[in-house]
Amino acid sequence: MTHLMILPILIPLLTGASLLLLYPTPVGVQRLVSIASTVMLTLLGLWAVSTAGSGELTLYHLGDWQAPFGIVLVLDRLSAIMLLLTAGLSLFCVLYASRGIDRQGAHFHALFQFQLAGINGAFLTGDLFNLFVFFEILLIASYALLLHGGGRARSRAGLHYVIINLVSSALFLLALGTLYGLTGTLNMADLALAVAATPAAGQPLLTAASMLLLVVFGIKAAVLPLLFWLPRAYSASSAPVAALFAIMTKVGVYAILRVFLLVFGLGESPANQVAWGWLWPLALLTLGLGGIGALGSASLRTMTAYLVILSVGTLLATISFVTATTLGAALFYLIHSTCMTAVFFLLADLLGQQREQGYDRFSDIAPMGHRWLLGGIFFIAAISMAGLPPFSGFISKLWILQATSGEPQGFWLWGVLLAAALLILVAVSRAGSGWFWRPGKMTAPRPLDRVCVWLVCLMIGVSAGLSALGEPVINYLELTAEQLLVPQAYIDTVLPESARLAREVAP
C-alpha cells in the first residue's frame, strides 16, 4: 500500500491550514507556499497517470480498515486523468492570481487549497458518503472563492449559488439514505453488487434514488433545467476563480460517470438505463441552449459561462451513448474544453484590463491597448474553442462525430453539435471584430502584465500540444473508457473475496 495516494488530499489540506496561520506574513510567502503545493500536486498527478497507466487499480485503505467497512481511495485511469487535469489547471490559476488578484480579498490561497483538497478527494474516493463530504468541502471553499474581491454582483450571484447547492446537498443525503436503507452499504463496489441483487420490490425505490443522484450531479454539472445559477455565478467571479471553476462542472460529469457506470451498471437490466434515457435529450437541449446563450450574451465572461454549459451538454450527450469509443471521445473533449474555457475566463480579464471602458462588455466600443498582441491571442483561442483546425478543439469534435456516426441517434448529435459550433463561431467573430477592428488605438496604452500573457499563451499551447501529441493521449483515453465499462474489475480489486461471496449468498 503506497501512501502517495492520500497526498493529493493531504497536501492541499495541510497547506490550506498552514496558510491560515501564515496570513500575517508577507503575501509573497503565502504565494510561494501555495504555488509549491500546487506544483507538488502536478507532480503527483503525473505519478498518478503513469501508475494508473498499467491498467491496475491502486487502493488505499484509510486507517487500514478493509472495504466495505472502511473508506477506500481508488486510483484508476479516470481518477488519474482528472487529478492531473485539476492540478495543471490550478497551477495556471494560482500563478495568474499571484499577479495581484489574490490581494483583492482575504485568504485567497488558503481557500484555493481547500478547494483543491475537495476536488481531489471527490476524484479519489470509493465511498458514496465520502463523495458527499468531499463535495461539501469543495463547495464551501467555492462559496468563499466566488465572493473573493467583494462587490454587489458577487453577493447576488453568490446567494443563488449557495442556496441551490444547499438544496442539492439535501437531495444528495436523501438519495444516500434511500440507498443505505435498501442495501445497507455505501461503498461503491459493494453497493454495485447489492444494487444488482435488489429484488423486484425494491426496484422503484432504487430508481428513485438513482434519479435523485442524477439531479444532484446534474446541478453540479449544470444540465438544462438545473443550470440557471451558472452564468451569473461564473461571470461574477474573479478571473482565476472562474478559470478554476471550469473544472467544477466536470466534477459533476465525473460523478455521473463513476456512479452510473459502476454503482448502477451491473446486472441483466442495469438500473442506469433510466438515467441514460433522461440524460440524452436533456444534454442535447443543454448543448443547444449553450450555443444560443453564447450568441446572446452581453459580455465575454457571460459568453464563456455559456461555453461551459455548451461543453457540459456536448460531454453528457456523447457519454449517454455508453460505448468505449464515445466515452474516449468525451474524455478528450473534457480535457480540451476545461483548458479552453479557463483560457477564455483569463483572457476576458486580460482584455478587459486593456480596454478604456466597459471592461469585458460587448456593447461598449472602446479603444484597446496592445491590440495586435491580444487580438492574435484571442484569434487563436477562438479558433481552438470553435473547433477549427489545427487545435485540439478540432480533433476532439472530429472524434466525437466519428464515434457517434455509427449510432442510430448520432444524427441528432451531429446536427445540434455542428449548429452550436456555428453559433460559437459567429459569437466569437462578432466579439473579436467589435473589439479589435472598429475602435481606434489607445493613446496611452496601459502596461501589460507579461507573465499573465505568457500564462494564457502557455495554456493555449497545452491545447495545441494535446492535438500534436494526439495519439498517445487518445490511446490512454480509449483504455480509460474500456476500464470504465468493466465495473466487475473495479469491484474485484476493491472488495476482498469474503465480502464478495457474502454479497452473492445473501438473499
Per DSSP, 364 falls in state -
CA 484/CA 256 separation, integer angstroms: 12
Determine if 13 is a binding residue for another protein (CB under 8 A).
no
C-alpha cell at position 368: 484597446
Neighbours of 233 (CB within 10 A): 27
Query: Does 500 help bind another protein (rule: CB under 8 A)?
Result: no
160 binds another protein (CB under 8 A): yes
Window 181-220: contact mask with another protein (x via CB under 8 A): x--x-x----------------------------------
Distance between CA atoms of residues 423 and 129, nearest Å: 41
Judged by beta carbon, residue 161 or residue 344, the one nearer another protein is 161
Kindly state the number of chain residues that form the binding site for another protein, as judged by CB under 8 A.
28
Report the residue number, 61 or 160, with the smaller CB distance to another protein.
Answer: 160
Q: Name residues contacting another protein, limited to 112-151 (CB under 8 A).
A: 129, 133, 136, 140, 143, 147, 151
Report the half-sphere exposure of 87 (CA within 13 A, side-chain side): 28
Query: Which range of residues in 11-19, 105-113, 159-167, 367-375 is near another protein by CB under 8 A?
Result: 159-167
- Determine which residue in the list 57, 111, 176, 424 makes contact with another protein, applying CB under 8 A: 176
Reported in sequence order, the residue ranges of 286-403 that DSSP labels E, i.e. its strands, are none
Select from 55, 65, 156, 488 the one that contacts another protein (CB under 8 A).
Answer: 156
Sequence-distant contacts of 144-147: CB under 8 A, at least 24 apart: 144/107, 144/111, 145/108, 145/111, 145/112, 145/115, 145/237, 145/241, 145/244, 146/233, 146/236, 146/237, 146/241, 146/245, 147/105
Q: Which residues pair with 125 in a beta bridge?
A: 73
Write the binding mask 70 to 109 for another protein: x where contact by CB under 8 A, - elsewhere. Answer: ----------------------------------------
Minimum CB distance to another protein, residue 131 (Å): 12
Shortest Cβ 185–another protein spacing (Å): 9
Neighbours of 37 (CB within 10 A): 25
The answer to whether residue 277 forms part of the interface with another protein (CB under 8 A) is no
Which residue in the set 180, 229, 359, 436 belongs to the binding site for another protein (CB under 8 A)?
A: 180
* 330, 315 contact by CB (below 8 A): yes
Q: Which member of 38, 58, 90, 178 binds another protein (CB under 8 A)?
A: 178
Q: Is 199 helix (H, G, I), strand (E, B) or coil?
A: coil
- Which of 3, 152 has the CB closer to another protein? 152
Burial 325-334, CB ≥16 within 10 A → b, else e: bbbbbbbbbb
x/- letters, 323..352, toward another protein (CB under 8 A) = ------------------------------
Between 46 and 164, whose beta carbon lies closer to another protein? 164
Choice between 180 and 412, CB closer to another protein: 180
Regarding 6 and contact with another protein (CB under 8 A), the answer is: no
- Smaller CB separation from another protein, 69 or 411: 69
- Residues whose CB falls within 8 Å of the CB of residue 222, separated by 6 or more in sequence, listed in order: 229, 230, 249, 252, 286, 308, 309, 312
Q: Which residues contact 477 (CB under 8 A, 6 or more apart)?
A: 81, 328, 331, 332
CB of 112 to another protein, least distance (A): 17
Q: Does 163 bind another protein (CB under 8 A)?
A: yes
Amino acid at 136: E
Q: Measuring CA to CA, which residue among 270, 185, 273 is closest to residue 500?
A: 185
Which residues would be at the binding site for another protein (CB under 8 A)? 129, 133, 136, 140, 143, 147, 151-152, 155-156, 158-160, 162-163, 166-167, 169-170, 173-174, 176-178, 180-181, 184, 186
